[in-house]
Amino acid sequence: MMIRPTARRRRLLAAAGSLLTLGLLGVAAPAEAIVKGEVVPGGWAGDRVPAVNLYGFVGRMAVGCTASLVAPGVALTAGHCGKVTGTKVWFGVLNADRDTGVERTIVKQQNLGDAAFSAGASILVVWLDRPVREVAPVALARPDQGALWSGGSALSAYGWGQINDPCIVGGRTVPTAELRRTGMKIVDTAVSTGIYRNLAKVRSLGAGHPSKGDSGGPLIAQEGAGRPYLVGVFQAAAGFCKGKNYAYYYNRVWTQQKLRDYVNSQQR
């Protein structure tokens, strides 16, 4: 991998932080790197860069959100990430201060999530100016793969957001330079009432949890030691700063048949 100047990275992240500063002391807030999560293998600056980047589909967005490459020219993020057309996104990056990755410009966006096909959520589909050939897209989970996520199965959340405690009043946002992840499990596959209706309710398996900058980040299920599947897109967190047992809400991907059909048609 090539080297990207640190100063440029920091300027982009600073701008993103100012755009997405949110009040985290309320009952609920839009999803915000993974606080207290682990750095993925190869993510530390001194690590040997792996020959194959297993996490290259996790995109780092200039607007301060996280995306998932699902087809060579198509990525998914959260609807509340706002107007992203004309902004940059990087794939194939493990360390933002070290890796150039694959830079693309978003040329079009459309909300094609649950809000369009059934009630309740928001997945933003973004189109890239050129296909990404250097990174393998992540597959979308199907309804017949319930064993991957039901019954408290262990999943992983990935993100490029902040790594410091978001509940410290007046504290500055510290964005991660390394792609991070943490273990999660779904405790309710479809919330039935309220503002989180039709979202999946997720809890952390340890100390790590999504935070500011992880909006749109993927919830990944692994089929044994094999192929990863995108199960959810990070939307919101509830209970911030009220205690340790926060709840996190993800847009469900396995219910999105039309979206899945479209993404599958773009695999070329």
The predicted-structure confidence for 156-210, as pLDDT tens digits, reads as follows: 999 998 887 666 666 677 889 999 999 999 999 988 878 888 889 998 887 777 8
Q: Per residue in 41-64, pLDDT tens?
A: 999 999 998 888 999 999 999 999
Specify the range with the lowest mean pLDDT, choosing from 109-113, 138-142, 263-267.
Answer: 109-113
Q: What is the pLDDT of residue 11?
A: 37
E strands of the chain, at which residues? 28-30, 38-39, 58-61, 66-71, 74-78, 88-91, 102-111, 123-128, 139-140, 155-159, 180-188, 200-204, 218-222, 228-238, 247-252
Q: What is the pLDDT of residue 195?
A: 82
Q: What is the pLDDT of residue 26?
A: 30
Asked if 124 and 76 count as a contact pair (C-beta separation under 8 A), the reply is yes
Looking at per-residue pLDDT, the higher value among 114 and 42 belongs to 42
Q: What is the pLDDT of residue 158?
A: 96
Cα gap 196→232, rounded to integer Å: 14
pLDDT greater than 60 at residue 121: no
Which of 201, 248, 245, 186 lies closest to 28 in space, CA to CA? 248
Question: What does each C-alpha distance from 10 to 3, 17, 226 come to in angstroms?
Answer: 14, 10, 35
pLDDT (average), residues 67-79: 97
Q: What is the pLDDT of residue 36?
A: 77
Tell me the sheet residues that pair with 58.
68
pLDDT-derived band at 7, boundaries 50, 70, 90: very low
pLDDT greater than 50 at residue 2: no
Enumerate domains of the chain plus CATH numbers. Answer: 6-25+50-137+256-265 (2.40.10.10), 140-252 (2.40.10.10)
Looking at per-residue pLDDT, the higher value among 248 and 223 belongs to 248
pLDDT-derived band at 113, boundaries 50, 70, 90: low
Q: What is the pLDDT of residue 193?
A: 79
pLDDT greater than 70 at residue 83: yes
Share of the chain above pLDDT 70, in %: 78
The mean pLDDT of the chain is 81
pLDDT greater than 80 at residue 154: yes
pLDDT greater than 60 at residue 19: no
Q: What is the pLDDT of residue 16?
A: 36
Q: What is the pLDDT of residue 240?
A: 60
